[in-house]
Amino acid sequence: MNVHEQYPSLDSRLVQYGVGRDAATGAISFPIYPSATYRHPEVGESTGFDYTRSGNPTRQVLEEALADLEGGARGLVFASGMAALTTLFLHFSSGDHLVVSQDLYGGTYRVLDQVFGKLGVTASYVDTTDAAAVATSIRPATRALLVETPGNPLLGVADLRALGDLCRRHELLFIVDNTFLTPVLQRPMEFGADVVVYSATKYFGGHNDLCAGALVARSAELGERLYFLQNSTGAILPPQDCWLLLRSLKTLALRLERHGRNALEVARWLQHHPRVSAVYYPGLPEHPGHDLARNQAHGFGGMLSFRVDSPTMARQVLKRLNLISFAESLGGVESLMTLPAVQTHADIPEAERLRLGICESLLRLSVGIENAQDIIADLAQALAG
């Protein structure tokens, strides 16, 4: 009986992944297997492990956990979120066209524009909160739709059900980057996603001490194709990091509950600050995607962005922070703030950034699990003066 059959509750499954899988010792924490290679019993026989790029016991337990967690057929883990995306993009060929969220991580734009663009894979960047705009962007050469929802950094909310239906009608691969919410809060495969993408560095890892990425494929056939690419190109997650990520999953549900509660409290406070002109957080009823997010997700997550009245003020805030760290990345237990226009989204052309509203007055805040009032007090003193 597998973990899913034993524990239908996702919270319990997260805690139980790996428990009892090491039959030799009964270890509660599944061991790290650092071996690079494995002995064969006989010629033509294998223990199931041959060379650690192709498979590793610690990685296997983690990948199976992610597949179960997502409701997919196969999970694969990589050395970073960008390694996962790069491997996925290798699934496409020269001449293929992708429709991609315009509100997305700048690194995704960079690898598509500057790496895969040279290889003949093209992309159109579209407001995926508008399903009609997505439909009009589809060409005969379009092979996939990649959507981040909520978006990064403006937290736009895309209608996953409508986009899933659109992909089925046009026979497109439906790819969802679910990094901001994880399957604890949002389950893209329930809306037809074929592949779910994660920067596992973020909420999966959750402690700003790990760099990892993940893909989960809906079908075994697609999972096998992505495994072929993973094994062929080799951007795997090492065993030590697999163990660390597996350990971190055990507290994922608890952490997300606190992240979301804190983020809502901080967002409400920011709404009333005189130096803040806009707050972007789907948990606020005023957010244009609030009702949709409430219907397709089980929470709003810990990410928000806000706009101050000038670039000078934005820099003042970053310089004065104490509890909150001025740092890239997100999803860790510690609160982090960044200036997307000059950091995470700097590779997007300036004219496009400005069109999207990613100006130097926009700050992105990954709300941690500290006491919410302490986070607010730090924001208050940083915005003062």
Active site (annotated) includes residue 177: yes
Q: What is the secondary structure of 25-89 as a DSSP string?
A: T--SSPPP---SB---SSTT--SS-SBTTT--HHHHHHHHHHHHHHT-SEEEEESSHHHHHHHHH
What 3-state class would DSSP assign to 293? helix
Q: Are 296 and 178 in contact (CB under 8 A)?
A: no
Active site (annotated) includes residue 378: no
**Catalytic: which of 68, 103, 177, 241?**
177
Q: Are 156 and 184 in contact (CB under 8 A)?
A: no
How many Cβ atoms are within 10 Å of 66's Cβ, its own excluded?
25
Q: Shortest CA distance to 328 belongs to which of 153, 159, 189, 122?
A: 153
**Catalytic: which of 13, 21, 143, 202?**
202
Q: Are 170 and 191 in contact (CB under 8 A)?
A: no
How many Cβ atoms are within 10 Å of 187's Cβ, its own excluded?
22
Q: Shortest CA distance to 105 belongs to which of 262, 223, 213?
A: 213
Q: State how far the Cα of 245 lies from the Cα of 321, in Å rounded to an integer.
A: 29
**Catalytic: which of 7, 22, 53, 294?**
53
**Catalytic: which of 17, 33, 105, 203?**
105
What 3-state class would DSSP assign to 180? coil
| Residues designated as active site | 53, 105, 177, 202
